[in-house]
Structure 1
Amino acid sequence: MSLMKLAFSVVVLGFLTLAGWVQADERIELQGNLTQGGMVLGKTDPAAQVYLKGEPVRVSSKGQFVFGFGRDHRPSADLKIVLPTGEELNRTLEIKSRKYKVERIDGLPPSKVTPKPDVIARIRKENAEIARIRAIFTEENWFNSGWIWPAKGRVSGVYGSQRVLNGIPKRPHFGLDVAAPVGTEVVATTDGMVRMAEKDLYYTGGTIMIDHGFGLVSVYSHLSKLTVEPGTFVRQGEKIGEIGSTGRSSGPHLDWRLNWFKERLDPELLLPELPATN
């Protein structure tokens, strides 16, 4: 299937740059978001080599590849394609910058800002398992099923926002928060394999991680109930759990994230308009 004809709901930022390249050279196809937090799908000769910022990008046996840009990516990225003939295609991609909301909160108890020493070992162990899952690569292109909203509710948090607690800048928020009552259904946004289904992680409480192929892994956090297990293959729209307020959460909501290996992407860029709630 041609990625340029793929049923893929996106807000295409910087698409003219991509479209111009595709029209100029049919040996490579690109579709996606040239913006901080954006994801790009590509297709080329299966025997070609792809490099982004000098680092190799894996190409499948069908010539497909994926890459993305983090929250604070610089204004450009060099992309190089080495064809089987040895010919090189070099392009500089212009990456759209974004402004993020910063919230300052003072007067919090120290325990709410920095974890106690006795839980640091637990956090490190959990983070190591999360990192292992995010490093998985499979040529399965389950992401071709497209993307839908994981739950119905109010958007209460967006990608890229950041809090400064007692004057200490905390890590930016890399997900999309959907606030809804405890027990609200959460569904798989995209086809994929469940790699994690944990009821009680320190930060994220009830947590599910789904592998969509090519290094794309989504994360569903603060769940009150999990209805899938690791090793389960789920289809888009299938129930995987229920919204809760587990882990370090200030109220019932779903924190949904999307990663491309170590890069944290903005999942909202892939979504259609938020469905109405009743």
Structure 2
Amino acid sequence: MARTGLATSLILANLAGPALAQNTPAAQEVQPVIQQGDGPDFLTRPFGAVRPLQSGIRLNAAPMQGALLRGTAPKGVVGLDLDGVKVPLAEDGAFVIGFNRDAAALGVLTVSFADGEVATEPLAIEPRSWRREFIAVAARGGMPSEAFMARRRPELEMIAAARLRNSDSPGWRQPFIWPAKGRVSGIFGSQRIYAGEPGAFHSGVDVAGPIGAPVVAPADGVVILAAQTPFSLEGNLLMIDHGMGLNSAFLHLSSIDVKDGDRVRQGQQIGRIGATGRVTGPHLHWSMKWNDARIDPQMLVPPMGTQK
């Protein structure tokens, strides 16, 4: 008899995203329901917080927009995919899955077994309310110039190629740490609405700090891109693969201290905070992706200031 599951109760590619205006009289700010940095560390939550799915798959938290979850598959499971995207499985059955900032309310986890049976597990994905600024005037600017795009296209190709590089790093198994210390000046998912037209959402978390302040690896990984010259938007860009389709990008660095192909360890210095690229002041922009899903890095780390 086939195994079937029930629903649990439970993006011009710009890595940086827009900076939020501060103290703008024309802007109305809507606070997020989840206060960033005060929530649970989704990678270190114990199993048991969410009941097992009928296929035997276990997740350590309820699926949620912007979240990265840990999971385990029982013996006999030989394949997983989430909404048609392959989910890599470790030999011990461990895996991670991520949910995009704008993930739909329902996802489908397909579980393939060694005996040929296939189970489909509907996943109810919890929505989040994102911080928005409503601005009465239209956004400035227009279509990028051909001169800009002539420079930008090769950069986008390098970024896309880097994301296709998968390593055997075990960093995805680790509890993540903050890559820099400082004031959190920008949060994941925040967005400006210009005269009713939404701009791009902020794709990572910003940490303000002085130029030259150290940036460390938030988890083990392999360097998949270390910019030789500053990119037009990201400035000095560094990307690290943590394994299993999970990677981090670090933008606006003043210097990069590692090179392409290097293996880095959690806590190792990889660069320094800067103000390169399109910025209004020195800070680190840290963004994460699981495959094509944008992940909220701040859900994976302890509140700023509590990290040892």
TM-score relative to the length of structure 1:
0.85
**Equivalent residue for 2:126?**
96
Structure with the bigger percentage of helix: 1
Separation in 1 of the partners of 2:283 and 2:144?
22
Aligned residues: 265
- Change in Cα spacing, 1:276 to 1:42, as seen in structure 2 (3 Å) is closer
Task: Letter of the 2:65 partner, please give it.
Answer: Q
Counterpart contact for 1:77–1:92, Cα < 8 Å = yes
Residues 1:259 and 2:286 aligned together? no
Separation in 2 of the partners of 1:118 and 1:133?
24
Counterpart contact for 1:190–1:212, Cα < 8 Å = yes
Q: CA shift at 1:11, angstroms?
A: 4.2
Match of 1:227 among 257, 272, 283: 257
Task: Letter of the 1:10 partner, please give it.
Answer: D
**Equivalent residue for 2:163?**
134
Residues 1:79 and 2:121 aligned together? no
- Change in Cα spacing, 1:119 to 1:216, as seen in structure 2 (3 Å) is same
Match of 1:194 among 223, 236, 259: 223
Structure with the bigger percentage of strand: 1
Alignment of 1:1-278 (within 5 A): 10-11=41-42, 19-21=50-52, 27-32=56-61, 34-44=63-73, 45=75, 48-104=78-134, 106=137, 110=141, 114-164=143-193, 169-198=198-227, 199-275=229-305
**Equivalent residue for 2:4?**
none
Counterpart contact for 1:31–1:41, Cα < 8 Å = yes
Residue deviations 1:24-58, cap 9 Å, x none?
Answer: 66x43322451101112222237511121244323
- Change in Cα spacing, 1:18 to 1:148, as seen in structure 2 (3 Å) is same
Separation in 2 of the partners of 1:252 and 1:75?
37
Q: CA shift at 1:104, angstroms?
A: 4.4
Separation in 2 of the partners of 1:101 and 1:246?
26
SS state of the match for residue 302, structure 2?
Answer: coil
Separation in 1 of the partners of 2:46 and 2:63?
7
Structure 2 unaligned regions, length at least 5: 1-39
Separation in 2 of the partners of 1:108 and 1:75?
30
Separation in 2 of the partners of 1:215 and 1:51?
13
SS state of the match for residue 58, structure 1?
Answer: coil
Counterpart contact for 2:248–2:289, Cα < 8 Å = yes
